[in-house]
Amino acid sequence: MEQNHKSKDMSNLFEKIPMEGVKNIIVVASGKGGVGKSTVAANLAIAFARDGYKTALVDADIYGPSIPRMFGIEDAKPDVTSFGEKEIMFPIDKFGVSIMSIGFFIDRNQSLIWRGPMAANGVTQLFENTQWGDIDYMFVDFPPGTGDIQLTTIQKLSIAGAIIVTTPQEIALNDARKATSMFTNPDLKVPVLGIIENMSWFTPEQHPEEKYYIFGKGGGHKMAIEFDTMLLGQIPLVSEVGEAAEKGLSVFSQTNKLVIDSFEKIAGLIISKTEDRS
């Protein structure tokens, strides 16, 4: 017996969280961990703030929140005020970015043993119970994969677009394809703004003109073609970037102009693409 399967548009089935004052919400995703997604999200947010935009960053990687460490604010505690039966949280500001993370509310050595729905609800509260004010661009650092947190966020927020972070090697690309397919699924309809290829090549600090493609070459470009989107940029593997993240410093505090130029160029392309859609 032949069955007629019609795809249902899930993007309008859920009540949206009213994010008054927030103009553009951009999610930063990856298929697997270890590709530098959070580092990319953090420094993109800083790049936008440096360009004069009111910028926010939500750490939605609830099982492994790393944004507080990257900004050097692990010991920060957001102010919380009660309005009737609802508690309102106020983000922590650093480098011109308004930041909210579950990491602010748990011990840094504590693990969260939450099932998917509970974790998704926890992330929802980061958006719904935070006093954001006027924000031009809000970046959301997703956990790796395609689970409940991603689906709930997509369903409950009006997303301007998604950015996929990958490294050039095929195993990372395979997982990144799965993440991209989630956004391009006709039931969800989230525009993929482009691909960012991280760790594209290794450049020794003493020889900035040299490039070593230790993870392969051309993977981000290949994937952008597959999904009919843009390769927003390639970020080299530079030891200073990881060291800065460990110390709570931004990439813009470094001496490596190549990395700084990469983030500034990517920020410009994202601004152009989101303004074209508005």
Q: Per-residue DSSP letters for 231-268?
A: EEEEEEE-HHHHHHHHHT--GGGSS-HHHHHHHHHHHH
Comparing 7 with 153, the larger pLDDT belongs to 153
Give the tens place of pLDDT for each residue, 11-31: 555 688 989 999 999 999 998
- With contact defined as beta carbons under 8 Å apart, do 267 and 235 qualify? no
Boundaries of every domain in the chain = 20-277
Q: Are 152 and 58 in contact (CB under 8 A)?
A: no
DSSP-derived letter for residue 111 is P
> Pick from 217, 221, 216, 219: which is nearest to 232 by CA?
221
Q: Do the Cβ atoms of 235 and 200 come closer than 8 Å? A: yes
In this predicted model, what pLDDT tens digit does every residue of 76-132 receive, in sequence order? 999 999 887 788 999 999 999 999 999 898 776 666 656 667 878 888 999 999 999
Give the pLDDT score at 63. Answer: 82
Q: Can you give the pLDDT at residue 249?
A: 75
pLDDT, tens digit (0-9, with 9 covering 90-100), for 26-60:
999 998 888 999 999 999 999 999 999 999 999 99
Is the pLDDT at 3 greater than 60, yes or no? no
The pLDDT mean for the chain works out to 88
SS3 30: coil
User: Does the pLDDT value for residue 191 go beyond 90?
Assistant: yes
At 224, the pLDDT band (50, 70, 90 cuts) reads very high
Q: Write the DSSP symbol of residue 103.
A: G
Q: Token pair 């195993």 is at which residue?
A: 171
Q: How far apart are CA 97 and CA 132, in angstroms?
A: 11
Provide the pLDDT confidence category of residue 251 given band limits of 50, 70 and 90.
Answer: confident
Place of tokens 């997703």: 142
Q: No. of H helices and E strands in the chain?
A: 8, 10
Sign of CA pseudo-dihedral 200, 201, 202, 204 = negative
CATH topology of domain 20-277: Rossmann fold (3.40.50)
Q: What percent of the chain has pLDDT over 90?
A: 62
Q: Please tell me the predicted confidence (pLDDT) of residue 204.
A: 80
80 CA to centre of own chain: 25
Q: Which of 118, 72, 120, 64 is nearest to 99 (CA)?
A: 72
Region 173-196: mean pLDDT is 93
Is residue 277 very low, low, confident or very high in pLDDT (cuts 50, 70, 90)?
low
Look up the pTM and report it. Answer: 0.90
Q: Which tens digits make up the pLDDT trace of 137-152? A: 999 999 998 888 999 9
In this model, does residue 6 exceed pLDDT 60?
no
